[in-house]
Amino acid sequence: MTYCVAMCLDEGLVCLSDSRTNAGVDHINTFRKMTVFERAGDRVLVLMSAGNLAITQAVINILREHAAVQDRQSLWSAPTMFECARLVGDTIRRVHQRDAEALQQFGVEFNASFILCGQIADEPPRLFSIYAAGNFIEASSDTPYFQIGESKYGKPIVDRVVNCRTSLDEAAKCALISMDSTIRSNLSVGLPLDLLIYRRDSLKVTRHVSIDGDNPYFDMIHNQWGANLRRVFAELPDPDWATWPQEAVPRPRVRDMGETAVCEAAGKKG
């Protein structure tokens, strides 16, 4: 499993992904989940993946091969981000058509999802979530972020903090807290991380860093976020039950077997 989150903000884009694919006591593998297509002055595209690694790698490799061939529609030649999302969706369907039936025979589900974001020329930055069926949706000002993979642990902080006016630095901090919460609660998500920041209209990657266990900022977040959560929790008052309404709460009555037998016998006599 993995966890990826991307945010499309007024100032630009923030993307974060982990790199763990298998996790167990003696079985941990690492593969990058973020692929960047950058042509300075023209376009920056970021593709993140989750799901079956063989499927997602097949999709990414096909996209790379097409991008390397001139005069072929690809992520380099698509005129809009919508067309790029459509190309990724079509490639997923192509892999599904080729592999899904064979995988099913071995009991393997066709499981793959992608986040695509970026900016092409004068078009504003856009963000898409692309599903295993090849269909996709686009982020909006009301919902300016998408998550794929093991998302439930990191979702609450993003829901509470991020909106389209959030700064890039604040969004990066929120994404890292979201990732830390996920790593803490799920063994299948782990370091190293890929963090990418793109500033609107720059048409080049602003910052792309790899974060491992020796990163002082992420270590600070890990320690201080947990300590501050415990402090805020301790400061909240305990429930004052004396102030709560004393209305009786109706509860279903459960009869024991002896009572049931007596009732049934009485019914037969009647």
pLDDT digits (tens, 9 = 90+) for 212-237: 999 999 999 999 999 999 999 999 99
Task: Convert the pLDDT of each residue in 26-43 to its tens digit.
Answer: 545 678 899 999 999 999
Task: Give the number of other Cβ atoms within 10 Å of residue 23's Cβ.
Answer: 14
What share of the chain in percent tops pLDDT 90? 80
Positive or negative: CA dihedral 75, 78, 80, 86: negative
Name the architecture of domain 3-220.
Answer: 4-Layer Sandwich (3.60)
Q: How far apart are the first and last CA of the chain?
A: 63
Q: In the predicted model, what is the mean pLDDT of the chain?
A: 91
Write out pLDDT tens, residues 121-172.
999 999 999 999 999 999 999 999 999 999 999 999 999 999 999 999 999 9
pLDDT-based confidence at residue 58 (cuts at 50, 70, 90): very high
Domain range annotation of the chain = 3-220
- pLDDT category at 23 given cuts 50, 70, 90 is very low
Determine the pLDDT at residue 25.
44
Q: Is the pLDDT of residue 24 over 80?
A: no
Contact between 189 and 150 (Cβ < 8 Å): yes
